[in-house]
Amino acid sequence: MRSLGAVVTLLAAIFAARRKLVLVNVTGASMEPTLRDGDRILVRRRGPAALRRGQIVVLMAPEAAQGPQWQCPGWHVKRVVALAGDPLPADVPPADETGLVPRDSVVVFGDNPFGGDSRDWGPYRVDGLVGTLVCRTSGRAE
């Protein structure tokens, strides 16, 4: 009976971890040199209230990034540079006439300025937030 209890406890822990954690494969060079193509990152599911400037986050690509010109669908890995209510950075297209990050959005940049991010598509909506970076492992052969 004791081993059955241990198995049940282990399965419950695995189930809880899967609801809170996501393993994401990094594709592309937009976060170089911090993260590179082929790296794997562990992401903790979190809500927008937990976001802080400087955090690396995973969020859904904005609609504009998914169009035929860009073809960057799926999840994006970026760094938070401005939160709702903050002034928009000068190189980000305005979402409205206030010049502030809208309350349902966040401004994110890739560490590599040549990757697509809020400088190209404007603020990202926080309802597409997957979570924040916990740790990274290299998936590349070195």
- In sign, the C-alpha dihedral spanning 47, 48, 50, 51 is positive
Q: Is residue 33 part of a domain?
A: yes
> What distance, in Å, lies between the first and last C-alpha atoms of the chain?
46
- Does 16 reside within a domain? no
Cα–Cα distances in angstroms (integers) from residue 130 to residues 1, 45, 100, 135, in the given order: 39, 6, 23, 15
Residue 123 confidence (pLDDT) above 90:
yes
Which CATH number characterizes residue 75's domain?
2.10.109.10
Position 129 in a domain: yes
| pLDDT at site 35 | 93
CA distance 83 to 29: 24
Q: Is 98 part of a structural domain of the chain?
A: yes
Q: Where are the alpha helices (DSSP H) in the chain?
A: 2-20, 118-121
Q: Which residues are annotated as catalytic?
A: 30, 78
Tokens encoding 44: 């903790």
Q: pLDDT above 90 covers what percent of the chain?
A: 47
Tell me the pLDDT tens digit for each residue of 47-81. Answer: 899 999 999 999 988 877 766 655 566 888 999 99
The total number of structural domains in the chain stands at: 1
Question: Are 119 and 107 a contacting pair, CB within 8 Å?
Answer: no
Checking if the pLDDT of 141 tops 60, the result is no
pLDDT number for residue 115: 75
Cβ contact 27:33 at 8 Å: no
Q: Provide the residue range defining the domain that includes 59.
A: 22-137
